[in-house]
Structure 1
Amino acid sequence: MNYIEYDFTVTPIELGVEILVAELAEVGFESFVDTPTGVKAYIPKNLWREDVLEDVSLLENEEFTISYQVTEIEQVNWNEEWEKNFSPIVVEDICTVRANFHPEPSTPYDIVITPKMSFGTGHHETTYMMLQQLIPLSLERIKVLDMGCGTGILAIMTALRGARDITAIDIDPWCVENATENVQQNNCSFIIVKEGDASAIAGEKYNLILANINRNILLSDIPAYAQALLPEGILLVSGFYLEDLPAIQERCREVGLTFVSYIERNNWVSVKFQRQ
């Protein structure tokens, strides 16, 4: 399969690239490679259309200067491209996320992943904050759901922290395959990884639900998450901006979830709710 490559030049680069990647992922782009001036984004040719960038609002934001070049390319060796650009991250000096070719760290928790085209390397603010949120929680032997699991990084972290009944779900078959590989690589094969959406959790109950997705899906699926939470169960969500927080809070209030706290990183937020 051929891909269409967009080579973006972004100023200011750090915040701009983070937001741009999140928006591009929502319109069909499947893989991203950081560059010294921005990011290269790839979309399968059969999914590409002339107006593919129409809903990427960052391109209209006057606070950023963004230009790009478009090229059609043959199938890319994503692992090779990723290995050239991926560097380990460390969250709160507690958890390291790295590739298998990086040296073993001294942090208490060590997650080894090969993300391929799946979202969730820990570099994005939302994944980083979700890992932050997990660090202070007591997870021993609780039942966990990682919804929209991507690489499986959050499910793996809960396993390393002591959870044993863990389900990771994603709507994308590629993410399911990738997450399965990553849980095996981290000796967490007891994590159940499956394809599906919020309908897949009907009748299930969890102590902890993780949902790092996006605003619209969260607003749609929060009632299902609330129904699936045990008493005193916790819902951790991310994937949206600070200005979207009131809408998320109101939706959770409607279904009986109590707002506990939130953290912010470059205008992205991660929020903790609890069922009473």
Structure 2
Amino acid sequence: MGDYSELTIEATEAIREILIAELAAIGYDGFEESDGILKAYLPASDFNQSELDILLNKYDVKYSKSIIKKQNWNEVWESNFEPVRVDDFVGIRAGFHPPFDNVAHEIIITPKMSFGTGHHATTYMVMKLMEEIDFHGTTVFDFGTGTGILAILAEKLGAKAAVAVDNDDWCIENASENISINHCNRIDIEKVDKMNSDRKYDIILANINRHIILDNLGALKGSIEENGQLILSGLLKSDEHEILEACSALELRHKKTLERNGWIALWFF
């Protein structure tokens, strides 16, 4: 794996949230937000100038592009990564942060270029929904695992086995490292491009984006055990109607929606 392209985009909070979803759909797999700024990352070999211009011209935003060498990435995220607390349920930190006080579960993440540190609303909401589910003795499928954070949490919540998949080599490497750091031994990592339904799971977590969810929704439904549960996120509030209709057509029953900063997570059974 080589260098990464870094975009620095000036945008309002509302536009940043939309851009994350749109950029993720065209392959950007790492994001950082600060006041008025969104940084997005993509393997330099995958950078497509015309595709980017078409997307960003819709929102009339200014941006700059630079190259980050792989060996410099740790310096980048160490200077920006702050611990995340999901109430008293889970704390997410890097290895150089002090341990949390008074949280039920703690996860140590070295995010590198991968998505999923708990900072983004979608990851936060999926974890909030996971708090309401009994994972003891279950089998779990984490579709689009990124850093591996959701599979790691599933094991800490008592899952007997989890399969975490992604289509990106960097994510597979990063998730494997994080699984080891957190002393998890019931998670298998696999590189896949599409969901297949040759195995069934009690709980499926899919925190990706609308396009990939819709493309794989039939296979996701086919992979749920009877009385199993499905959590979908990586979705904007404006995606909710389309997702609910598609899930209803597959006879998935909607149990709950969470909303945070214009993003949603949906729970089906």
On whether the aligned pair clears a TM of 0.5, the verdict is: yes
Cα displacement (A) at 1:43? 3.3
Letter in 1 for 2:191: E
Aligned to 1:185: 181
Q: Is the 8 A contact 2:205 2:231 kept in 1?
A: yes
TM-score (norm: length of structure 1) = 0.89
Aligned to 1:6: 7
Change in Cα spacing, 1:273 to 1:83, as seen in structure 2 (3 Å) is same
- Alignment partner of 1:115: what SS? coil
Aligned to 1:103: 98
Cα displacement (A) at 1:3? 4.3
Aligned to 1:56: 55
Q: Superposition pairs for residues 118-137 of structure 1, below 5 Å?
A: 118-137=114-133
- Alpha-carbon distance in structure 2 between the residues aligned to 1:28 and 1:144: 25
Q: 2:239 aligns with which of 241, 244, 249?
A: 244
Change in Cα spacing, 1:147 to 1:223, as seen in structure 2 (3 Å) is same
| Bigger relative CO (Cα 8 Å, ≥ 6 apart) | 2
Letter in 2 for 1:6: L
Cα displacement (A) at 1:39? 3.0
Letter in 2 for 1:9: E
Q: Is the 8 A contact 2:24 2:209 kept in 1?
A: no
Letter in 2 for 1:98: R
Q: Deviations over 1:205-255 (max 9, x none)?
A: 111000011111111211111111111110000011112112111111122
1:69 aligned to 2:68?
Answer: no
Q: Is the 8 A contact 2:140 2:202 kept in 1?
A: yes
Q: Deviations over 1:122-174 (max 9, x none)?
A: 11111110011101111111111111111110011111111121111111121
Q: Superposition pairs for residues 217-232 of structure 1, below 5 Å?
A: 217-232=212-227
- Alpha-carbon distance in structure 2 between the residues aligned to 1:171 and 1:113: 20
Aligned to 1:234: 229
Structure 2, unmatched stretches of 5+, are none
Cα displacement (A) at 1:73? 5.7
Q: Superposition pairs for residues 13-92 of structure 1, below 5 Å?
A: 14-34=13-33, 37-56=36-55, 60-61=58-59, 66-72=61-67, 74-75=69-70, 77-92=72-87
1:138 aligned to 2:139?
Answer: no
Aligned residues: 267
Structure 1, unmatched stretches of 5+, are none
1:147 aligned to 2:143?
Answer: yes
- Alpha-carbon distance in structure 2 between the residues aligned to 1:142 and 1:177: 25
